[in-house]
Structure 1
Amino acid sequence: MGAITWQYPAAGALAVVWLLLLVRRLDPPFRQRQRTSQNAQVPVWVSIIGWLLIAALVAAAAGGGLLWLLGWPQLPKQAAFSTTEMLDLLKIGLAVVAGFGGVVALAVNYRKQRVTEAAHAHSLNQEERERTKLFNERFKVAAELLGNDEVRLRIAGVSAMAGLADDWETQRQMCVDTLIDTLKLPKDDHDAEVANKIFRALRDRLGTPLRVGLWSPLNFDFSGLKFDEADFSERTFEGEVIFDGAEFTGQHTSFERTAFRNLLSCHGTRFTGTTANFSDALFTKDAQFVGCSADDSTLDFRRAELKGRALYFYRSELKRTQLIWRDTTLNTGAVRIERCEVTDCVLDFGDVRGATAERRSLGFLFIDMSKLTRCLVLLEPLDAEYQRVWIRDSPLEEVDLLTGEDDAPPPWLKIRGGEQEELPTT
């Protein structure tokens, strides 16, 4: 009965100690940091007493467990011990005392370690605060330079803000946004130098099609800007690129071999008398041309690659413009022209590579509810068996639709609804 009475407390004590040690080891980092700050305030004698209690509990549990395993043997009376046995018992007692002394040393060393960790954490926090303070001071100086009346100081401000963006990773987006916002301020005769300096800073940090640049992961909001001879060629954008309400003018606008790995947004964008070169560009996500206009321009997507769902023209107005998609690759998406006015334009979709036979493409070009007037539409898909062109509910007036086949229309061209004239084919 005695064995039954003692075995449960001994086993329970062992379990409690084991759980305490396990919980201390598996505490999440925030709990450990919390204890560090709290233990730094606890007197050392409290820690020593705590460790002694733990040691006593462990010793009691171990001793009770050992006695239980031995069947709770009866210890002999004191007179039965020889001198040698008494000396051995004395050694054991001294070893126990030394063990408790070791516990005290362990508690002291543990306390020192926690204090050292707390000091180190405080030092790191203090260093981070100092760095943030320095960055804020640099940002203030750079912003003041950007707003200065003297051109040379504004140019210096561009360099200062760009350098700060390179160093201040957590607020890099804010610094770059400040540079772009500078382009949106009212301009004078000398602001072209400042704008050129900002665009050079952007190009230098946007990498190449093969290598991501330091600023490539950021979002770029160029809304409302007017670009003359813009050059974004051979750059990589991993964040969103927004040209909403922007205008592109000048003879050349280049996005040649540019990688857009996120949304390209052109809502209300205007292309006026320019050749916007997107040849060999990569579109990983959607490209949206919504409510945009193109007058006397060329939008050249020759040999581009579309991996997103669609390159989307919606409620856009194209006049005397060439839209070229020759030799492009549409891996997973399509070009969609919906609710658009297309007048005196050339739409070249020759030699387009649509989805593979395994994907059974439903179409690589959709013209929906749009009006085409006096247009030349070139349609010559590389694989007519699996690629489809859909023209739905779209009036075609004086439109030459060239398919490269004698059939009118060929099987891969699906025309539905709308008042159609007889379509010339060749």
Structure 2
Amino acid sequence: MGEATPQRAADDSDLSERGGELAREREAAAGLWPIRRSLTAAAIAVVLGLATLITAALAALGFPQVQHADSLPLAQLLDVLKVILGTVAGVGALFALVTAYRRQRLAEAAHILAEATHTHTRQVDAAQQAHQERLARNAEHDTAERRITELYNAAAEQLGSPQAVVRLTALYTLERLANSNTGHQQTIVNIISSYLRMPYTPPAAPDPAAQHRQELHVRLTAQRILRAHLTRNAATRWTSIALDLSDATLTGFDLRDCALDSADFTGATFLGVARFDRATFAETISFADTTFRDSAVFVHATFSGMASFTHASFGGGAVFGRVVFQGSAFFENATFTGDAAFGDARFCGSAVCTGATFRAGAAFTRARFDGSAVFGRAVFSGSAHFDRARFNAAAFFDDATFSGGAFFGDTTFGDDAVFSNAEFAVSPSLDGARVADRSRRLLLPTGWQVQAAQDTGGRLVKDDR
């Protein structure tokens, strides 16, 4: 609505400039009068010049004196007539030439002025028409913006209604607004997200209260609207969206196949299975301090920026199979109550699991760590599988606790491998494990040593000493 004011100022400035141009052209046309004055002066100068020329001619003849006589000789009279007629003819021809030149210059100047005036008039008319059209567009834009603002305000008021049907109407109104106004999609997502972040106590399983069931229905509708327009194959897709659902309580949350710029779920609580299969996050995403009461599924998800699961709690299974972390991934002090499955996951940046607790099985089979893998002080209560994993950077398992089996069969350590002070309830299995460089810092579990292989590499074998 406020965008039209600078444009109108620019239009007024443009018209003022065009008016100034017309004034300058008229001033230039006023230069015709100096031309006329100069031509008149030139004519006078020519006459004076001819007079001077005649005087010079007479002087050359010795200023012949006319005899006072009753009559002039015929020869002398003819000479005088010749001089007079020649002079008159020369002066007449000169005046004719000067007059013709003067008329030509005045006609050319008048033509130039007429053309300039006509051209400028057309330009001014076109500018005025364009200005009027812009004013009409601005007025239309202002009207549309006012209408959108009115709908925003109405929807915000309706979302606070105690009646569920009114809140549903508000959500569908916001959805229609976002579909028809691309520039307002992020704002509408923010409004819907704000509603989901409002305090909410989920109903108990056998709760018969209608109001609890109705509020749950409204919240599920809000979640479905978000997913419907964030999926990559949506009929009307909302793009370049940043989602803020921090501290929200979400039930059966589903972002499968969705694409987001960034997302903040810090402190959120997920009830039911949370689905993020094949979701892509272009920027930072935070699940710090998040609680997953049930399973969380991230199969084939892609995190292009940093991903934080610091202090997250997974009450059910945590499935990160074939996930790609292009930035650093933080699972510091995270708790996995159910199985944690990271099979075939790829960590392009650092994977920081310092102090993480795996109360059931932990599977990193065939996982690839291109950055540092930090499992210092991690607790593995169940079996820990790192079979065929590849650590291309340093791997730290210092002070980690393995209460179940620890399997590192056919694992490759491309850099430091540090197991200092790690505790194993059962002797770990490193059969077929390899190191790429024997000169790196290799602090292996008790009972294992490096056997030299080709080049700088080596194989891990049991120490029979």
- TM-score normalised by structure 1 residue count: 0.69
Deviation at 1:247, TM superposition (A): 0.8
Judged with a 3 Å threshold, the aligned counterparts in structure 2 of structure 1 residues 154 and 267 are, in CA distance, closer, same or farther, namely farther
Partner of 2:275, secondary structure, is coil
Deviation at 1:329, TM superposition (A): 4.2
Deviation at 1:140, TM superposition (A): 2.3
Q: Is the 8 A contact 1:298 1:322 kept in 2?
A: yes
Q: Which residue of 2 aligns with 1:71?
A: none
In structure 1, C-alpha distance between the alignment counterparts of 2:368 and 2:233, rounded to whole Å: 17
1:305 maps to amino acid? R
Q: Which residue of 1 aligns with 2:335?
A: 293
Q: Which residue of 1 aligns with 2:408?
A: 379
Query: What are the superposed Cα offsets for residues 321-349 of structure 1, whole Å, 9 maximum, x if unpaired?
Result: 3332223344x5343334x4314143323
In structure 2, C-alpha distance between the alignment counterparts of 1:287 and 1:192, rounded to whole Å: 33
In structure 1, C-alpha distance between the alignment counterparts of 2:289 and 2:30, rounded to whole Å: 77
1:198 maps to amino acid? A
Q: Is the 8 A contact 1:217 1:237 kept in 2?
A: yes
> Does residue 223 of structure 2 align to residue 199 of structure 1?
yes
Judged with a 3 Å threshold, the aligned counterparts in structure 2 of structure 1 residues 408 and 367 are, in CA distance, closer, same or farther, namely closer
Q: Is the 8 A contact 2:396 2:418 kept in 1?
A: yes
Partner of 2:195, secondary structure, is helix
Q: Is the 8 A contact 2:342 2:364 kept in 1?
A: yes
In structure 2, C-alpha distance between the alignment counterparts of 1:32 and 1:210, rounded to whole Å: 36
Query: What are the superposed Cα offsets for residues 352-377 of structure 1, whole Å, 9 maximum, x if unpaired?
Result: 356xxxxxx434xx226543241433
Judged with a 3 Å threshold, the aligned counterparts in structure 2 of structure 1 residues 196 and 115 are, in CA distance, closer, same or farther, namely same
Q: Is the 8 A contact 1:367 1:394 kept in 2?
A: no
- Shifted more, 408-417 versus 144-153: the winner is 408-417
> Does residue 11 of structure 2 align to residue 36 of structure 1?
yes
Q: Which residue of 2 aligns with 1:257?
A: 300
Partner of 2:408, secondary structure, is strand
RMSD (Å) for aligned C-alpha atoms: 4.1
Query: What are the superposed Cα offsets for residues 368-392 of structure 1, whole Å, 9 maximum, x if unpaired?
Result: 654324143333467x4x7235226
Deviation at 1:271, TM superposition (A): 0.7
Q: Which runs of 5+ in 2 are unaligned?
A: 35-44, 48-90, 203-211, 242-258, 450-460
In structure 2, C-alpha distance between the alignment counterparts of 1:266 and 1:362, rounded to whole Å: 22
2:335 maps to amino acid? S
Q: Is the 8 A contact 2:414 2:435 kept in 1?
A: no
Q: Which residue of 2 aligns with 1:333?
A: 371
In structure 1, C-alpha distance between the alignment counterparts of 2:421 and 2:180, rounded to whole Å: 54
Deviation at 1:34, TM superposition (A): 5.4
In structure 2, C-alpha distance between the alignment counterparts of 1:210 and 1:303, rounded to whole Å: 29
1:335 maps to amino acid? A
Query: What are the superposed Cα offsets for residues 90-125 of structure 1, whole Å, 9 maximum, x if unpaired?
Result: 344312211112222233233333333433443343
Deviation at 1:279, TM superposition (A): 1.7
Q: Is the 8 A contact 1:223 1:244 kept in 2?
A: yes
Q: Which residue of 2 aligns with 1:243?
A: 287
Q: Percent of counterpart pairs with the same letter?
A: 14
Aligned pairs, number: 360
Partner of 1:133, secondary structure, is helix
Q: How does 1:187-226 map to 2 (within 5 A)?
A: 187-188=201-202, 189-190=212-213, 191-208=215-232, 214=239, 215=241, 216-226=259-269
Q: Is the 8 A contact 2:357 2:380 kept in 1?
A: yes
2:227 maps to amino acid? R
Partner of 2:428, secondary structure, is strand
Deviation at 1:253, TM superposition (A): 1.9
Q: Which residue of 2 aligns with 1:48?
A: 22
Q: How does 1:50-65 map to 2 (within 5 A)?
A: 50-53=24-27
Q: Which residue of 2 aligns with 1:65?
A: none
Judged with a 3 Å threshold, the aligned counterparts in structure 2 of structure 1 residues 118 and 35 are, in CA distance, closer, same or farther, namely same
Q: 2:320 aligns with which of 278, 288, 293?
A: 278
Q: Which runs of 5+ in 1 are unaligned?
A: 1-29, 61-75, 355-360
Q: Which residue of 1 aligns with 2:135?
A: 122
Judged with a 3 Å threshold, the aligned counterparts in structure 2 of structure 1 residues 37 and 148 are, in CA distance, closer, same or farther, namely same
**RCO higher in structure (CA 8 A, sep ≥6):** 1
Q: 1:350 aligns with which of 387, 390, 405?
A: 387
2:385 maps to amino acid? D
In structure 2, C-alpha distance between the alignment counterparts of 1:56 and 1:218, rounded to whole Å: 65
- TM-score normalised by structure 2 residue count: 0.64
> Larger Cα Rg: Structure 1 or Structure 2?
2
Q: Is the 8 A contact 1:213 1:236 kept in 2?
A: no
Deviation at 1:248, TM superposition (A): 0.8
